Chains A and B, each alone.
Chain A
Amino acid sequence: MAARRRLPFWAEYLLLPLLNLSLAFLVSGLVVLLLGENPIEAVRLLVYGAFGFGEAVGYTLFYATNFIFTGLAVAVAFHAGLFNIGGEGQAALGGLGVALAALWFGHLHPLLAIPIAMLGAALFGGIWGFIPGWLQARRGSHTVITTIMLNFVAASIMTYLLVNVIIKPGQSAPETVTFAENVWLPQLHQLLQPLGFAIGRSPLNLAFPIALLCALLVWIYVWKLRLGYELRVVGRSEAAALYAGISPAAHIMLVMTISGALAGLMALNEVLGAQHRLVLGFTGGYGFVGIAVALMGRNHPIGVVLAALLFGALYQGGAELAFDMPRINRDMIVVIQGLVILFAGALEHMFRPTLEALFVRTRPVPV
């Protein structure tokens, strides 16, 4: 019997996602029409809003930073066959870790304070990832459900703490005091100014290169290390893992901790890089968008970074669009996200049979 033909690499990783993405945008265009606006004009405004000027690019990259973290979190767990929908809660807890570290150690030298805050983010997010990991590994509870439930538990914890405990005294909005400046992540326009680069003012900060570094580390972990090899065996076949003397439980707990830590690091960008205080609900759904980013990026770090840039552009461009087109508001971007998840994730196989038939027909294989 002959080996089965697969799609060529470029069709699998470029053509297929592109087709799916186009369809998502096509349907989005229909929604824009439904709203009574011109979709082509909307695209023009969106692209200009995302890339047209220095500040726009800065904001695009700033949002992309959030998505890189949450996208990597989903992607890395996926390699163990786990679906981590808990990015939202893990990011929230990461924010708590950052805030506690910043409140307690923020007065230290930046070179000390910032790493401690980073550790806080990773540690708290990691714990919130470890719990469903442990539940899956030791008690067989499905991560899809447990991570959803833990999102709500995290929301309760955050609300309680921010309303009752770490709230800035004498105010009603649920947020902490502004952190000491030592622990603020430098924003890139400040860093680059002395070097003679004048980029527009935006909250884009040191978290962006840290996110890229994380993508690199995830790539090394999954594809280069023995641990990653074992992780992928666990994700594809638990029986094969047991056969090969690999403990699925250990890898599940490890990868969920890493996944939670990555989601938690998102707080660096928002809390330490932009807002400089912990605000209730700062996660703003970025954890959920991470699912779309990972799916679009086919769970590969490079794909995740590219998809994060796309979503960053959508966010920033969408904000500009909502400003320019009165009948479109920022929620439209959420619609597009949903459609991208639908077409790039859930319907990813829609075009596959057609494409495969096309390729088999053009290249006959003897039996």
Chain B
Amino acid sequence: MEAGAATAGGARPPAVELRGISKSFGPVQANREVDLAVAAGSIHGIVGENGAGKSTLMNILYGFYQPDAGRILVDGRERRIRSPLDAIRAGIGMVHQHFMLVEPFTVLENLLLGAEGGFTLEAGIARARREIEAIERDYGLEVDLDAVVKDLPVGVQQRVEILKALFRGAHILVLDEPTGVLTPQEADHLFRILRNLRDQGRTVILITHKLREIMAVTDRVSVMRGGRMVAHRRTADTSTEELAELMVGRKVLLRVEKGPARPGDPVLEVTDLEVRDDFGVPRVRDVSFTVRAGEIVGIAGVAGNGQSELLEALAGIRPVARGRVLLGGRPLGDAAEARTRRLGHVPEDRLRMGLVRSFAAWENAILGYQRQSAYTRGGFLRRRRVIASCGDWMERYDVRPRDPFLHAADFSGGNQQKLVLARELEHDPDLLLVGQPTRGVDIGAIEFIHRQLVAMRDAGKAILLVSVELEEVMSLADRILVMFDGRIMGEMAGAEGEERRLGLLMAGVAAEER
């Protein structure tokens, strides 16, 4: 198959060419006969849903995994890439979604790691300082070499990652979901750097599931679905709608069908709330808002701006440092008490918090509710009864496979989330806290989960939704609050939500300042 052959420059072979790459993990086939050609000196986007196989493919290119079949060509020459070292030698650099930095090290030490240039560090340090200064000048990547990495903001840490790759002589740079932790403005800065790199002849491969970024910065784009490469396009010749359709495989309903909200009495009242993280740093400051019965309040924001801490504090997991939280007019207690007062919580990270991976579905079905007399009598768990309820819920929420004895870890992401949702909804909460409800969930399950949340709202329950997916917040929430650096920057009605304004608020630009 002719996979988007190189055009610009004509004579130069593709910087990267993959032919017939296949990879499976046990019974799961992550990549099937994938072909890809990336023109030298271009920015090439790879889009696909979560689990489409993008990261696996790039990890193969970087030597993290060995493909079961297929060939890799770099600059027209066949290469066997068995380890990251081979990839680095072939001139490939990678910026991972989770930064691969040694946090207590300085920037310089991080740059040197693996590229020390000799047994002692002295010579390497001198060389590094010289070379890095040149690279910084060329690409507008400014970083203090002697700063300790863990003290740097995320955007700067990402620049360290790019520097690291360039310092190792990478002329092909792979970035895996680089904007997940950035504000739209920081992302724009990143894109400027990437264009710079391209203009100086380097090749950039950008993996993302955000179509806006593809349209904004790439020259060409390839679409993955279900482990296969399904299309290659010039960015100029395609559209967001076409790409979305290719990604999902059918027309998508981006809007959720819902009528107007009919808000009732306040259920959750938050006044001047301050919450600190595990190190005592305030992550939520002076936050006040109210959630009423019969409405969905959405909290938008870039990940890491205090949403997680807010959610945990409201669920009674994290202590309230200052301020007041009222649930149904009375002060909130700890997590155990909150449950008895009809607070449901679908946590952001279901595998860390919402489920115990090695527990059977039935054991997970009462997590948090284990003290209720329906499940415990005289200190003994009422096992048979719990299994029966669990089977019931699995049927009603279409959790597959319908096996209460299967371990949580053995369900797919969507089915895990449905299990959590079933548990929290079936205990009929007055207030439901929902964090990232559709992260890592397939499209079919997303629609199901969204319908359930709207149905709950229509039944007169209060819902607080935290999501980093703007689209999700905009389509579900009746009111949107935007969080930045622990504060609420502004509020708008869900329907009038306008992405540009949301973006500015997410970047910390207050409504009045514009």
**Whole-angstrom distance between the Cβ of A154 and the nearest chain B Cβ:** 33
**A2 and B356 in contact (CB under 8 A), knowing A224-B381, A226-B380, A242-B335?**
no
Interface residues of B in 346-371 (CB under 8 A from A): 347, 349, 352-359, 363, 367-368, 370-371
Q: Are A239 and B352 in contact (CB-based, < 8 A)?
A: yes
**A1 and B412 in contact (CB under 8 A), knowing A233-B356, A236-B357?**
yes
**Whole-angstrom distance between the Cβ of A253 and the nearest chain B Cβ:** 17
Q: Are B316 and A245 in contact (CB-based, < 8 A)?
A: yes
**A225 and B354 in contact (CB under 8 A), knowing A1-B412, A243-B367?**
no
Interface residue? A161 (CB, 8 A): no
Of the listed stretches B21-29, B64-72, B171-179, B215-223, chain A binds: B21-29
Interface residues of A in 329-367 (CB under 8 A from B): 356, 360, 364-367
Q: Are B379 and A227 in contact (CB-based, < 8 A)?
A: yes
**Whole-angstrom distance between the Cβ of A187 and the nearest chain B Cβ:** 36
B353 neighbours in A (Cβ, 8 Å):
237, 239-240, 242-243
Query: Could you tell me the distance between the alpha carbons of A112 and B352 in the complex, rounded to whole angstroms?
Result: 50
Interface residue? B410 (CB, 8 A): yes
**Whole-angstrom distance between the Cβ of B309 and the nearest chain A Cβ:** 13
Q: Within the complex, which residue of B28, B338, B357, B406 is in contact with A245, where a contact is CB–CB below 8 Å?
A: B338
Query: Could you tell me the distance between the alpha carbons of A233 and B369 in the complex, rounded to whole angstroms?
Result: 13
**A242 and B317 in contact (CB under 8 A), knowing A226-B376, A360-B27?**
yes
A237 neighbours in B (Cβ, 8 Å):
352-353, 356-357
Query: Could you tell me the distance between the alpha carbons of A4 and B409 in the complex, rounded to whole angstroms?
Result: 9
Residue of A with least CB distance to B376: A226
Q: Are B27 and A243 in contact (CB-based, < 8 A)?
A: no
**A244 and B367 in contact (CB under 8 A), knowing A5-B27, A225-B379, A229-B381?**
yes
B163-182 interface bits toward A, Cβ cutoff 8 Å, 1 = contact, 0 = none = 00000000000000000000
**A229 and B27 in contact (CB under 8 A), knowing A4-B410, A244-B335?**
no
Residue of A with least CB distance to B354: A243
Query: Could you tell me the distance between the alpha carbons of A366 and B27 in the complex, rounded to whole angstroms?
Result: 7
Q: Are B370 and A244 in contact (CB-based, < 8 A)?
A: yes
B315 neighbours in A (Cβ, 8 Å):
243
Q: Are B335 and A360 in contact (CB-based, < 8 A)?
A: no
Interface residue? B191 (CB, 8 A): no
Query: Could you tell me the distance between the alpha carbons of A248 and B125 in the complex, rounded to whole angstroms?
Result: 46
Interface residue? A6 (CB, 8 A): yes
A1-15 interface bits toward B, Cβ cutoff 8 Å, 1 = contact, 0 = none = 111111000000000
**Whole-angstrom distance between the Cβ of A357 and the nearest chain B Cβ:** 9
Residue of B with least CB distance to A367: B29
Interface residue? A270 (CB, 8 A): no
B347 neighbours in A (Cβ, 8 Å):
243
Q: Are B381 and A226 in contact (CB-based, < 8 A)?
A: yes
A227 neighbours in B (Cβ, 8 Å):
379
Q: Within the complex, which residue of A5, A225, A245 is in contact with B368, where a contact is CB–CB below 8 Å?
A: A245
B27 neighbours in A (Cβ, 8 Å):
2, 4-5, 360, 364-367
Q: Which of A224, A233, A356 has the most CB of B within 10 A?
A: A233
A52-87 interface bits toward B, Cβ cutoff 8 Å, 1 = contact, 0 = none = 000000000000000000000000000000000000
Query: Could you tell me the distance between the alpha carbons of A243 and B337 in the complex, rounded to whole angstroms?
Result: 12
**A243 and B345 in contact (CB under 8 A), knowing A3-B401, A4-B410?**
yes
Query: Could you tell me the distance between the alpha carbons of A3 and B368 in the complex, rounded to whole angstroms?
Result: 25
B411 neighbours in A (Cβ, 8 Å):
3
Interface residue? A88 (CB, 8 A): no
B349 neighbours in A (Cβ, 8 Å):
239
Interface residues of A in 303-342 (CB under 8 A from B): none
B29 neighbours in A (Cβ, 8 Å):
367
Q: Are B335 and A229 in contact (CB-based, < 8 A)?
A: no
A: number of interface residues (CB 8 Å): 29
Q: Within the complex, which residue of A2, A4, A230 is in contact with B370, where a contact is CB–CB below 8 Å?
A: A230
A242 neighbours in B (Cβ, 8 Å):
317, 335, 353
Interface residue? B51 (CB, 8 A): yes
B338 neighbours in A (Cβ, 8 Å):
245
Query: Could you tell me the distance between the alpha carbons of A246 and B335 in the complex, rounded to whole angstroms?
Result: 8
Interface residues of B in 243-268 (CB under 8 A from A): none
Interface residue? B277 (CB, 8 A): no
Q: Are B376 and A4 in contact (CB-based, < 8 A)?
A: no
A214-238 interface bits toward B, Cβ cutoff 8 Å, 1 = contact, 0 = none = 0000000000111101101100110
**A229 and B368 in contact (CB under 8 A), knowing A5-B26, A243-B354, A245-B334?**
no
**A225 and B381 in contact (CB under 8 A), knowing A243-B317, A244-B335, A245-B316?**
yes
Residue of A with least CB distance to B411: A3
Residue of B with least CB distance to A221: B379
Query: Could you tell me the distance between the alpha carbons of A293 and B412 in the complex, rounded to whole angstroms?
Result: 36
Residue of A with least CB distance to B24: A367
**A226 and B363 in contact (CB under 8 A), knowing A237-B357, A239-B352, A365-B27?**
no
Q: Are B406 and A3 in contact (CB-based, < 8 A)?
A: yes
**Whole-angstrom distance between the Cβ of B492 and the nearest chain A Cβ:** 31
Query: Could you tell me the distance between the alpha carbons of A227 and B381 in the complex, rounded to whole angstroms?
Result: 9
A235-271 interface bits toward B, Cβ cutoff 8 Å, 1 = contact, 0 = none = 0110110111110000000000000000000000000
Q: Are A225 and B380 in contact (CB-based, < 8 A)?
A: yes
B407 neighbours in A (Cβ, 8 Å):
6
Q: Are A229 and B354 in contact (CB-based, < 8 A)?
A: no
Q: Are A360 and B26 in contact (CB-based, < 8 A)?
A: yes
Interface residue? B336 (CB, 8 A): yes
B358 neighbours in A (Cβ, 8 Å):
236
Query: Could you tell me the distance between the alpha carbons of A227 and B379 in the complex, rounded to whole angstroms?
Result: 7
Query: Could you tell me the distance between the alpha carbons of A2 and B406 in the complex, rounded to whole angstroms?
Result: 12
**A367 and B335 in contact (CB under 8 A), knowing A226-B376, A244-B367, A244-B368?**
no
Interface residues of B in 297-339 (CB under 8 A from A): 315-317, 334-339
**Whole-angstrom distance between the Cβ of A278 and the nearest chain B Cβ:** 36
Query: Could you tell me the distance between the alpha carbons of A78 and B26 in the complex, rounded to whole angstroms?
Result: 30
Residue of A with least CB distance to B352: A239
A226 neighbours in B (Cβ, 8 Å):
370-371, 375-376, 379-381
Query: Could you tell me the distance between the alpha carbons of A268 and B489 in the complex, rounded to whole angstroms?
Result: 67
Residue of B with least CB distance to A236: B356
A243 neighbours in B (Cβ, 8 Å):
315, 317, 335, 345, 347, 353-354, 367-368
**A240 and B381 in contact (CB under 8 A), knowing A245-B339, A245-B368?**
no
Q: Which of A4, A224, A245, A365 has the most CB of B within 10 A?
A: A245
B367 neighbours in A (Cβ, 8 Å):
233, 240, 243-244
Q: Are B357 and A224 in contact (CB-based, < 8 A)?
A: no
Query: Could you tell me the distance between the alpha carbons of A230 and B371 in the complex, rounded to whole angstroms?
Result: 10
Q: Are B352 and A229 in contact (CB-based, < 8 A)?
A: no
Q: Which of A236, A237, A366 has the most CB of B within 10 A?
A: A237
A246 neighbours in B (Cβ, 8 Å):
336
Query: Could you tell me the distance between the alpha carbons of A4 and B336 in the complex, rounded to whole angstroms?
Result: 33
Query: Could you tell me the distance between the alpha carbons of A4 and B410 in the complex, rounded to whole angstroms?
Result: 5
Q: Are A367 and B410 in contact (CB-based, < 8 A)?
A: no
Query: Could you tell me the distance between the alpha carbons of A356 and B380 in the complex, rounded to whole angstroms?
Result: 35
Q: Are B379 and A367 in contact (CB-based, < 8 A)?
A: no
Query: Could you tell me the distance between the alpha carbons of A364 and B29 in the complex, rounded to whole angstroms?
Result: 13
Query: Could you tell me the distance between the alpha carbons of A233 and B352 in the complex, rounded to whole angstroms?
Result: 11
Question: What are 6 A-B pairs with beta-carbon distances under 8 A?
Answer: A226-B381, A240-B352, A242-B335, A243-B368, A245-B339, A356-B26
7 additional A-B pairs beyond A243-B353, A244-B370, beta carbons within 8 Å, are: A1-B412, A2-B27, A3-B412, A226-B376, A239-B349, A242-B317, A367-B28
- Counting from the closest, the 4 A-B pairs by CB-CB distance are A245-B336, A245-B335, A244-B368, A365-B27
